[in-house]
Amino acid sequence: MFSSSLGGDVLGRIVKNLGLYLILIILVVSLVNMFLTPTTQPQPQYIEITYSDFLKELEAGRVKDLLIRNNTLPGESSSATLHGTLSDGTKFLSYGIDIENLAATAVKNGSNVTIEAPQKNTWWMTILSSLFPTLLLIGVWVFFLYNMQGGGGKVMSFSKSKAKLFMDNRPKVTFADVAGCNESKEELQEVVLFLKSPEKFTKLGAKVPRGVLLVGPPGTGKTLLARAAAGEAEVPFFSVSGSDFVEMFVGVGAARVRDLFEQAKKYQPCLIFIDEMDAVGRHRGAGLGGGHDEREQTLNQLLVELDGFDDASSTILIAATNRPDILDPALLRPGRFDRHIVVDRPDVNGREDILKVHGKDKKFAPDVDMSVLARRTPGFVGADLANLINEAALLSARHERENIGMDELEEAIERVMAGPERRSRLISDKEKNIIAHHEVGHSITAKRLPDSDPVHKISIVPRGHAALGYTLQLPEEDRFLVSRTEMLNRITILLSGRVAEELVFGDVTSGAANDLDRATKTARQMVTELGMSDRLGLVKLGRKHEEIFLGRDISEDRDYSEEVAYAIDQEVKSIIDNCYAKAKEILLADKDLLSKIAAVLLDRETLDGKEFEALMNGEILPDIKKPDGVNLEKPASDSESSDESEKSTGIEGKKTDQFSKGDFLA
Distance CA 477, CA 472 (A): 15
CB 628 within 8 A of CB 634: no
- Catalytically annotated residues: 439
Distance CA 228, CA 20 (A): 51
Residue 203 pLDDT > 60: yes
Q: How far is CA 107 from the centre of its chain?
A: 88
CB 607 within 8 A of CB 600: yes
Query: What sign does the dihedral 24-27-29-31 (CA atoms) show?
Result: negative
Q: What is the pLDDT of residues 15-58, one digit of tens each?
A: 445 655 665 666 666 566 555 555 444 444 677 777 777 777 77
Q: What is the pLDDT of residues 552-587, one digit of tens each?
A: 445 566 778 899 999 999 999 999 999 999 999 999
Neighbours of 489 (CB within 10 A): 22
- The per-residue pLDDT for 176 is 85
Q: In what order do the strands lie in the sheet with 112-115?
A: 47-48, 91-95, 72-77, 63-68, 112-115
Distance CA 231, CA 169 (A): 10
According to DSSP, the residues that pair with 545 across neighbouring strands are 555
- The per-residue pLDDT for 155 is 45
Q: What is the pLDDT of residues 623-657, one digit of tens each?
A: 665 444 434 333 333 333 333 333 333 344 333 33
Write a three-state SS string for 159-222: HCCCCEEECCCCCCCCHHHCCCCHHHHHHHHHHHHHHHCCHHHHCCCCCCCCEEEEECCCCCCH
Write a three-state SS string for 457-522: EEECCCECCCECCEEEECCCCCCCCCCHHHHHHHHHHHHHHHHHHHHHHCCCCCCEHHHHHHHHHH
CB 620 within 8 A of CB 437: no
- Domains in the chain, CATH or no CATH each: 5-37+122-155 (no CATH), 47-115 (3.30.720.210), 159-342 (3.40.50.300), 348-418 (1.10.8.60), 429-665 (1.20.58.760)
Average pLDDT over residues 75-85: 54
According to DSSP, the residues that pair with 211 across neighbouring strands are 317
Cα-based angle 391, 393, 397 (whole degrees, multiple of 5): 115
Estimate the crossing angle of helix 382-398 against helix 348-358, to 10 degrees. Answer: 50
Please report the beta strands in 561-654, taking only residues with DSSP state E, as ranges in sequence order: 606-608
End-to-end CA distance of the chain: 57
- The per-residue pLDDT for 579 is 96
Q: DSSP string covering 62-119, please?
A: -EEEEEEBTTEEEEEE-SS-BTTTB-TT-EEEEE-S-HHHHHHHHHHTT-EEEEPPPP
- The per-residue pLDDT for 145 is 57
Distance CA 460, CA 441 (A): 13
pTM, two decimals, is 0.67
Q: How far is CA 235 from the centre of its chain?
A: 28
- The per-residue pLDDT for 68 is 72
**AA identity, residue 442:** H
Please report the beta strands in 294-421, taking only residues with DSSP state E, as ranges in sequence order: 315-321, 339-342
> Which one is predicted more confidently, 130 or 86?
130
Least confident of 23-27, 441-445, 485-489, 523-527: 23-27
3-state secondary structure (DSSP) of residue 635? coil
